[in-house]
Chain A
Amino acid sequence: MEIKRLTKNFGNPESWTLAAYEKTGGYQMVKKAFAMDPEAIIELVKQSGLRGRGGAGFPTGMKWGFVPKQSDKPKYLCVNADESEPGTFKDRYLLEHDPHALVEGIIISCWAVGIRYAYIYIRGEFGLPYYRIEAAVKEAYEKGYLGSNLNGKGFDLDVTVHRGAGAYICGEETGLIESLEGKKGQPRLKPPFPAVVGVFGCPTVVNNVETIQSIPWIIEHGAEEYRKAGTEKSPGTKLFSVSGHVKRPGVYEIPLGLPCKTLVHDLCGGIIDGKRQKANIVGGSSVPILTGEEADNVDLDYESLAAAGTMLGSGGMIVMDEDTCMVWALAVLLKFYAHESCGQCTPCREGTGWIRNLVYRLEAGDGKREDLDKLLSITGNMMGTTICVLADAAAMPTESFIKKFRAEFEAHVGAGRCPIRGKSAHFLAHAH
């Protein structure tokens, strides 16, 4: 059920060191890539069908193809290691267990796209992953894998690890770019797209850690082999991080298209205490929620999840059992979005606060029946009206919670308390 490509070195002794990485064939793919024409590498990545693993699922080879071939300005790579989507923790595993695979992926990607400088933008909270990737970059410099004239024909590459400082919005690619430039991480209007005008006004590729870490495997085994896992339109493997009410939470690398049921009930051992799965957020907190039944009947690939009305997102799966109050769960999530809105678009800055407060009020049993319509009216006005999709990321789950669990919301109205938890969630007293 699991297919270990990116996770194959997990659990090896000191897997994060250069010595351990080289022992398993590490950095051999750099040599192979240097012997290839950069164009051919981009073509290979296109053939593999690899799609961005950061959330949006955009085809990676195509993204690379948008970067101008000739440019008087240097080109940049930003590796998105901001990993802050609630429920997502796969990049942390990759950084902790196999940081050299990321460095190797960076070298190959930069060679393919003609990139001179790469930054690894890592979320500020990460301690161990930060030390591990810093150490890996240092070792790679010392061994001559990074620096100048890497292929003997004048290819130079510098890699710098750059720490964020606690802001979810810096995971959004243009927020990340602004932050890297030493500013508040407020997303930019697109177009222009980063491929043309990115960091420091130069052509820039932004890719997720897992995306870049897939590149050495593709170089080694080829596109056809890559496609042997996964489905026609969603090829390859994907790391899912599963948490919530499952017996064995953790990171699982599975072929895309695996039934969600297999992941939840077999790999993760099912629901704690043999309870029923009431709901499942399959792709990180920003995607619409599924009922347990829907989740048990869906396959984990981009197309099947879209058909089921949700998204694969980052693969951060949050499982909830039968005792979970859905109004409470939504309140917890909306606390997050209201806190993380960067504040530059009115529908998002105000909207996230309004819907949070309405759901707090409903959760406490003080809501009114018309609050549900009010909520849906606000979310309707938040979607598609803002600079980035954080507003949608708050609005879409809200709509899906109400649609799928409306009766539960109505049961709170006038009850004066939560009918499931019996009391109001007093932790919200501390919410800011």
Chain B
Amino acid sequence: MKQKYRGKKLFLLFLIMGLSLFYGDFYGNSLPIEQAQLIIIIDFNDFMCFSCLDSFVEFCQSLPLHSKDGKVCGVLVVNEADETDLSFKIVEKKLRGFISANNIKFPVLIDNLHIFNPLAEDGTVIILFNHRGKCIKKYLFPLKREQKADILGALKD
């Protein structure tokens, strides 16, 4: 389940910074993406499958409060084929409801440029950066207990 990505952090960060410049988060703030240690890529299809979201929501609620400090960031990916201006706005509204109902504290942006779609081919995933930026791990949901401990441990460090 766990894969390693090397040397891609800068590329990903660059892309996300670009996205954040374009869109910001739902509260109109620009996103402190460059500090992010953890990026959660949320597959919009999982929004229609509430059991798929369960593990994800549980994980989000276990994140320490410092996720507000920009260490954690979410990106919602939508299917290119389904996208129109109206459907994008509908997705935005649903995400707003989801964030509020699940008390999610970190910023989430919508990737309507579809840059992250390939990373979410297997559903909602977590991409973890270590503090040196040399190693990236990818975790798929549902998370195993030790994977969750890994991630939370890395955030503490």
Q: Please determine whether chains A and B interact with each other in the same assembly.
A: no
Taking Cβ atoms with an 8 Å cutoff, the residues of A that contact B are: none
Taking Cβ atoms with an 8 Å cutoff, the residues of B that contact A are: none
